[in-house]
Each structure stands twice: as structure tokens, then as C-alpha cells.
Amino acid sequence: MIIRILQRLTAFFQRFLAIILFLALWEALPRFGFVDPFFLPMLSVVLDAILAMLKTGELFQHLGASLQRTLIGFFLGFVVSVALGLLIGWFSKVERFADPLLQAFRQTSALALFPVFILFFGIGEVSKIAIIYWGVQWPILLNTISGVKNVDPLLIKSARSMGASKLTIFFRVVLPASLPAIFTGARLSATTSILILIAAEMVGAKAGLGFLVFDTQQKFQIPRMYAAILLMSLLGYCANYTLVHLEKKYTSWRSGLTVGE
């Protein structure tokens, strides 16, 4: 029992050693005068700021607003992009028709289009969700198309030889084989959604972690600013590993494959 606990603790420290060292360095540099504490407060001071916002309930307000915008924009982007990606990747005629337009749109920065979204939807919630949706859809869409097109032809031929219909091949062969690429796109999009959220909440928002970063920077409340940045990093970290867990769960069949199979 004790040996198992020690093994798990060792594995934990090995996995998170880089993060532990970074956090220790963050605490040490301003504490011992290597960095001006005004510009980089000690980690303990930043954690105190987080606890203070927890006690007042302010943190839940900002975190809730950011999560709501991110989840709605990400969910819409995921559903639409996966559906379009499967359609474009499966039907070559649709790809030839849509690809030039997709390549033109994907080169347009989401942040560059933010003023356009504000003109159409105002500075409220709709424009913020719309810009997140626009930013997250491209990694998912392109990875889904790539996943469908790169399905092993032998799998499709084998299914056809057994008399499977096109619909059966699509749902039982193509879709499962495309899941790893879809999840890769989703992980990239999760990171993108956090980055876009920061910019979106700096305009016309009254709550949210992005708003908190901008507001505290304007008021020179530096520990609270770093607290918001740290929480956004933690949010992105949790999103990434949630998707990693889901990918392992829904693509468990890959664990039996080896290189060359």
C-alpha cells in the first residue's frame, strides 16, 4: 500500500515538476529582490488576491461570465464545424466547391473581424459569442476534413467487400477513424477560444476574466491582474486535459494499435 502511494507521488512530481519549478521561481524572484515586486508580485500575494475574490464572490461572477461565453461559442463552433468537415471531407464535389472560400475565410484573423461583429451584433453578448465561434471553428473544421480524407482506404474497401452501405461505412468506419483528428482540432480550438475571449471581454464587458485583466491593469491592481491571468491559464489547462480524457475514452480502440498497423 505504502509503495503504491510512493509510486503515485513520484509519478505526480515527475509529471508536474516543470510547473512546480516555475511556480517556485515565480515566488522566489520578487521575494529576494531579483524582480521588482510591483511589476511581478510574489505568487503568494497573487493567491491571496484570488482568495479575497473568492470570499467576496467576485471571482465566481467573472469566471461564470467567461465560462458561459466560451462554452456557447465553442459548442456552436464544434457542432457546425464537425458537420461541415464530415460533409466536405466525404464528398469531393462539395470540397471542390467550398475549398476556395474556406481558404479565403480562414486567413482572416478573428480579432481583425471583431469590429465587424460589433457593427452587426452590438457590444453585447452576441458579438462576443460570435467572435469566439468564428475563431474556434477553423481548427476543428480543417482537422475534421483532414481526418475524413486520411481514413485508411483498406478499411473502406473491407467494409464494402462485406456489403456495407455508404451510410454504414460513413458512421461505422469513417466517423470513428476521424475522431482523433477531430479531437486534435478541438484541443487547438479550446486554446484559441481562451485567447479570443480575452480580447472580446475587453470591449463592452462588465464581467469576465478578460475584463478583469483589462480593468485591473487600468487601475494598477497588479496582484489581481496576475490572478486573472493565472485563472485563465488554469481554465485553458483544464479544458485541454478534459478533451484529452474524452479523446482517450472515445478512441480507446487505438490503444491496441502499433506503428505500421
Distance between CA atoms of 141 and 84, rounded to whole angstroms?
7
Distance between CA atoms of 228 and 60, rounded to whole angstroms?
12
What single DSSP character describes residue 151? S
What does the pLDDT read at residue 111?
A: 78
Distance between CA atoms of 158 and 174, rounded to whole angstroms?
12
Distance between CA atoms of 124 and 114, rounded to whole angstroms?
12
Does residue 234 belong to any structural domain of this protein? Answer: yes
User: Is residue 252 pLDDT above 80, yes or no?
Assistant: no
49 pLDDT band (50/70/90 cuts)? very high
Does residue 261 belong to any structural domain of this protein? Answer: no
Query: Which range of residues forms the domain containing residue 66?
Result: 54-250
Does residue 218 belong to any structural domain of this protein? Answer: yes
Domain count, the chain: 1
Does residue 176 belong to any structural domain of this protein? Answer: yes
Distance between CA atoms of 128 and 136, rounded to whole angstroms?
12
User: pLDDT tens digits, residue range 144-186?
Assistant: 999 998 888 888 888 888 888 888 888 888 888 899 899 999 9
Does residue 59 belong to any structural domain of this protein? Answer: yes
Does residue 32 belong to any structural domain of this protein? Answer: no
> Quick one: the chain helix, strand, coil %, rounded to 5?
80, 0, 20
Smallest Cα–Cα separation from 222: which of 233, 213, 231?
A: 213
Confidence (pTM): 0.82
Residues 6+ apart with CB under 8 A from 205: 65, 128, 211
CATH code where residue 213 lies: 1.10.3720.10
Distance between CA atoms of 145 and 238, rounded to whole angstroms?
26
User: Is residue 83 pLDDT above 90, yes or no?
Assistant: yes
Does residue 66 belong to any structural domain of this protein? Answer: yes
Residues 107-132: what's their mean pLDDT? 85
User: Is residue 246 pLDDT above 60, yes or no?
Assistant: yes
